[in-house]
Structure 1
Amino acid sequence: MVRVLIPSQLTAYTGGETRLEASGATVDAVLDDVDRRFPGLKFRVVDEQDRVRKHMRLFVGMEETRDVRRPLGERDELLIFGALSGG
């Protein structure tokens, strides 16, 4: 299982959970697994063309990725971050 860390702006989709376990061999598959349990979450992270949205950042461990096809191991950690904005 991959550990997934959810940013506060997406916890409305997860019932307040900020740490999840999900199955999948790629970032995309893990997001699909999370989305099956928490519908709508993946669409907030990835657009219709399977591109990471501009205001979102994904990290596998300490390395940023924008490739949803990136392979993941069972002990990897996927961190989802949302950009902050304001004025």
Structure 2
Amino acid sequence: MTQVLIPSQLTSYTGGATRVEATGATVAGVLDDLDRLYPGLKFRVVDEQDRVRKHMRIFIGQRETRQVAAAVRDGDELLIFGALSGG
């Protein structure tokens, strides 16, 4: 299992949970499992071409990745961050 930190702007998909568990050998696999558990969440993180959206950041532990093909090992922590903007 992978621990996934969910940013506050996506907790409406997880019933308010900021930390959930998912399975997958890659970031894409974890996102697919999250989308199975919490429909609609994946599309907020990646676009139609499976690219991480510009305003989103994904970390595997302390290492940032923009690649959904990046490997995720059992026990890793996946952190999803959304950029804040304002005017």
TM-score norm. by structure 2 comes to: 0.98
- Does residue 29 (structure 1) correspond to residue 24 (structure 2)? The answer is no
Q: How big is each residue's C-alpha offset from its partner over 1:24-56, in whole Å with a ceiling of 9 and x where there is no partner? A: 000000000010010000000000000000000
- Helix, strand or coil for the counterpart of 1:78? strand
Which residues of 2 match residues 37-56 of structure 1 at below 5 A? 37-56=37-56
Structure 2 Cα separation of the partners of residues 68 and 57 of structure 1:
11
Q: Displacement, 1:75?
A: 1.0
Q: What residue in structure 1 maps to residue 10 of structure 2?
A: 10
TM-score norm. by structure 1 comes to: 0.98
Q: Displacement, 1:72?
A: 0.6
Q: Displacement, 1:79?
A: 0.1
Name the aligned partner's letter for residue 62 of structure 1.
Q
> Which structure 2 residue ranges, 5 or more long, are not aligned?
none
Structure 2 Cα separation of the partners of residues 17 and 36 of structure 1:
16
- Does residue 61 (structure 1) correspond to residue 24 (structure 2)? The answer is no
Structure 2 Cα separation of the partners of residues 40 and 18 of structure 1:
16
Identity among equivalent positions (%) equals: 74
